[in-house]
Structure 1
Amino acid sequence: MRKRSPAAERHADLVRTALFEVAPAGMTLTRLMASCELSRWQARQGLAMLRDLCAERSWPPVIYSRDLGYHFCASEDELEEWERAWLSEKLTQFRRMLTGTIAPHLALFPKSVWAGYLSDQMKAIESNLALAARPPR
């Protein structure tokens, strides 16, 4: 369990209260900052801590959507859609790392044990993310 700062817990409580007040609607980050009187950094810190608390306490997860902003989500379809979008974003990041950094590293230093190992591991992760990002059949 990671150490929690009292400030982060206070920010998470402010964010939770603000989101409960507008539920089932959500809030943009700007509105959340204004409602809680927090800076951008504090609001993001509060959201991160709130996500941890949601997981620990079996609360509905906090997600972000363009339509609603940050909100508690209990809809299976919306959660699956959000999870696939998140996986797709991570898949893009892994592919860019493979093609933009690791491949040039291997081209410059073809005998690099580290680059070969990293390439193999990243390709395995990429294939798993690609499978997870697709809807089940």
Structure 2
Amino acid sequence: MPPASRRLSAASLRHADTIRFVLFEARPAGLTFPQLLRASELTPSQARAGLAHLRDTITERGWPPLIWTKKDGYRFCSDPAELQAYELVVIREKLTEIRRFISAVVAPHAALQPKGRWIRHLHTQFTSVESTLDVIAEYIDT
């Protein structure tokens, strides 16, 4: 469920509708961010708010998933193979982010406060997330 602040914003809803309309018109091709700005006549911050709102409401509205690739930009996609490839890329990015966060912040914090309840809990939770994403990435590769 989207955060209440984003869900209640009439402006982000209008921007999301504009972006949805522009992307449905461009189908099956996608639009890079600059192309999306030109086609929608939105500012960069309006487009980002609209994209965020669109991602928050896509499922409840029954629209196809919104993906972004370097080659095609933003586009709606229904092809299972393309969706799986996109999901794998995102999972690997998140896995890298989490690993870097653990090694650069959580582990040094744990070394400074080895008996700290908060840091032990945080380390356990992030290690669990890391393991889960790693399993998903390995499963998708097979």
Shorter-chain TM-score tier: over 0.9
User: Who is 2:17 aligned against?
Assistant: 13
Identity of aligned residues (%): 44
Summarize the alignment of residues 23-62 of structure 1 with structure 2, pairs less than 5 Å apart: 23-62=27-66
Any idea what the Cα deviations from partners look like across 1:92-127, whole Å, max 9, x if unmatched?
111111110111111112111111111111111100
User: Who is 1:82 aligned against?
Assistant: 86
User: Who is 1:91 aligned against?
Assistant: 95
User: Who is 2:116 aligned against?
Assistant: 112
Structure 1 unaligned blocks of 5 or more: none
- Equivalent-residue separation in structure 1 for 2:64 and 2:119 (angstroms): 40
Any idea what the Cα deviations from partners look like across 1:75-94, whole Å, max 9, x if unmatched?
00010011111111111111
2:74 to 70, 92, 95: 70
- Equivalent-residue separation in structure 2 for 1:18 and 1:11 (angstroms): 11
Structure 2 unaligned blocks of 5 or more: none
Runs (4+) of structure 1 moved beyond 2 Å? Answer: 1-4
- Equivalent-residue separation in structure 1 for 2:23 and 2:69 (angstroms): 14
CA RMSD of aligned residues (A): 1.3
User: TM-score with structure 2 length normalisation?
Assistant: 0.91
- Equivalent-residue separation in structure 1 for 2:141 and 2:42 (angstroms): 40
